[in-house]
């Protein structure tokens, strides 16, 4: 049943078309966007919003379109600029775009390239503009492929570029038990992409519901130049994940500065979703990421995908 990971299509080769392209802006040059190369600062969140199908009308929880309004309140409360959303189903995405009224954009969101994905990356349109976007295909339940978003955003204030990836790996459920093999395969694809982007010299931010705690942290931090916003370390070949409570993660390039990490389990979160809301501040230093302040790179030739 092993399925090989093969080189199949270009990373970030396809710029989003249609309505999403209409909202995109051309990449600015280093000279015009950030002549003094100031650090870029923003707040990122990993947010499983609990898909609408899990909370039908008449149940013990509010329906998905009501809960997505509360999700937006949480984004405001935590001053979030960019978020990786898991389980954001079409009715929730439509409601989110309606209530934010142009202040947020989503990819894939409701675009034709969504391909049944319930995962989107969202960003404040006054903070970032979209440079490039694509999807990465990983194995989900029983190895069935599911697409995950990958975007290259530019911070409007400083001109700094950043890659953002958002994942949802399969859980063990009563209907789909014993998904550990497929989580491992998904992790392998995610690690391969991060390593492929590392030489570009542009910071990478990974958000997601990985459905694993210490095991995911140890694999990723051992096999990629990424660190977790919440902390954790390796010493003398031994991994210390610092006993994570959540399966939700924020990772980033090692030279990024993370601060004010938070796992929000407040009453508002509890009625909005069945996950904590993960939040961290991020700083991109111009000396550490000089390549992030230039023009957008050419797309990487090929992407490893499942």
Confidence band for 128, pLDDT divided at 50, 70 and 90: very high
Average pLDDT in the 120-139 region? 96
The number of domains in the chain is 1
pLDDT more than 70, % of the chain:
85
Structure tokens belonging to residue 86: 């898991």
Which pLDDT tens digit goes with each residue over 54-79? 999 999 999 999 999 999 999 999 99
Which pLDDT tens digit goes with each residue over 247-306? 999 999 999 999 999 999 999 999 999 999 999 999 999 999 999 999 898 776 556 566
Whether 8 shows a pLDDT value over 70: the answer reads: no
Which pLDDT tens digit goes with each residue over 152-162? 999 999 999 99
SS (H, E, C) the chain: CCCCCEEEECCCCCCCCCHHHHHCCCCCCHHHHCCCCCCEEEEEEEEECCCHHHCCCCCCCCCHHHHHHHHHHHHHHCCCCEEEEECCCHHHHHHHHHHHCCCEEEECCCCHHHCCCCCEEEEECCCEEEEEEEEEEEECHHHCEEEEEEEEEEECCCCCEEEEEEEECCCCCCCCCCCHHHHHHHHHHHHHHHHHHHHHCCCEEEEEECCCCHHHHHHHHHHCCEEECCCCEEECCEEECCCCCCCEEEEEECCCEEEEEEEECCHHHHHHCCCCEEEEEEEECCCCCHHHHCCCCCCCCCEEEC
Report field, pTM of the whole predicted structure over 0.95: no
Whether 194 shows a pLDDT value over 90: the answer reads: yes
In a domain, 182, yes or no: yes
In a domain, 1, yes or no: no
Average pLDDT in the 148-153 region? 96
pLDDT attached to residue 297: 85
In a domain, 54, yes or no: yes
Place of tokens 């309606």: 98
Whether 52 shows a pLDDT value over 90: the answer reads: yes
In a domain, 217, yes or no: yes
**Domain span holding position 129:** 6-305
In a domain, 194, yes or no: yes
In a domain, 30, yes or no: yes
Which pLDDT tens digit goes with each residue over 74-122? 999 999 999 999 999 999 999 999 999 999 999 999 987 766 679 999 9
In a domain, 265, yes or no: yes
Q: What CATH number corresponds to the domain at position 38? A: 3.60.10.10
Confidence band for 208, pLDDT divided at 50, 70 and 90: very high
Whether 31 shows a pLDDT value over 50: the answer reads: no
pLDDT attached to residue 11: 41
Dihedral Cα 217, 222, 226, 230, nearest 10 deg: 30
Average pLDDT in the 238-250 region? 98
Burial degree of 248 (CB within 10 A; 0-12, 13-18, 19+): buried
pLDDT attached to residue 24: 40
In a domain, 240, yes or no: yes
């Amino acid at each position: 049943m092993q399925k090989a990971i093969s080189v199949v299509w270009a990373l970030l080769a396809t710029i989003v078309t249609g309505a999403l392209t209409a909202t995109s802006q051309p990449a600015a040059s280093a000279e015009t966007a950030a002549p003094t190369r100031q650090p870029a600062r923003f707040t990122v969140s990993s947010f499983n919003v609990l898909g609408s199908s899990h909370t039908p009308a008449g149940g013990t929880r509010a329906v998905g379109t009501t809960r997505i309004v509360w999700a937006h309140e949480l984004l405001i409360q935590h001053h979030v600029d960019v978020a990786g959303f898991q389980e954001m189903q079409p009715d929730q995405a439509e409601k989110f775009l309606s209530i934010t009224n142009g202040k947020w954009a989503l990819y894939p969101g409701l675009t034709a390239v969504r391909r049944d994905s319930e995962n989107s990356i969202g960003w404040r349109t006054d903070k970032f503009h979209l440079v490039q976007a694509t999807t990465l295909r990983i194995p989900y339940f029983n190895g069935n492929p599911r697409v995950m978003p990958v975007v290259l955003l530019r911070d409007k204030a400083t001109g700094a570029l950043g890659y953002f990836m958002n994942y949802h790996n399969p859980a063990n459920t009563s209907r789909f038990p014993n998904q550990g093999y497929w989580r491992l395969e998904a992790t392998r694809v995610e690690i391969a992409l991060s390593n492929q982007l590392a030489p570009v010299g542009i910071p990478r931010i990974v958000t997601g519901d990985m459905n694993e705690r210490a095991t995911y942290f140890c694999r990723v931090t051992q096999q990629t130049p990424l660190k977790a916003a919440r902390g954790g370390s390796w010493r003398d070949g031994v991994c210390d994940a610092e006993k994570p409570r959540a399966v939700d993660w924020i990772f980033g390039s090692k030279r990024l500065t993370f601060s004010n990490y938070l796992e929000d389990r407040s009453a508002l979160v509890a009625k909005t979703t069945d996950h904590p809301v993960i939040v961290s501040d991020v700083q991109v230093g111009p000396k550490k990421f000089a390549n992030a302040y230039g023009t957008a790179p050419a797309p990487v030739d090929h992407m490893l995908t499942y």
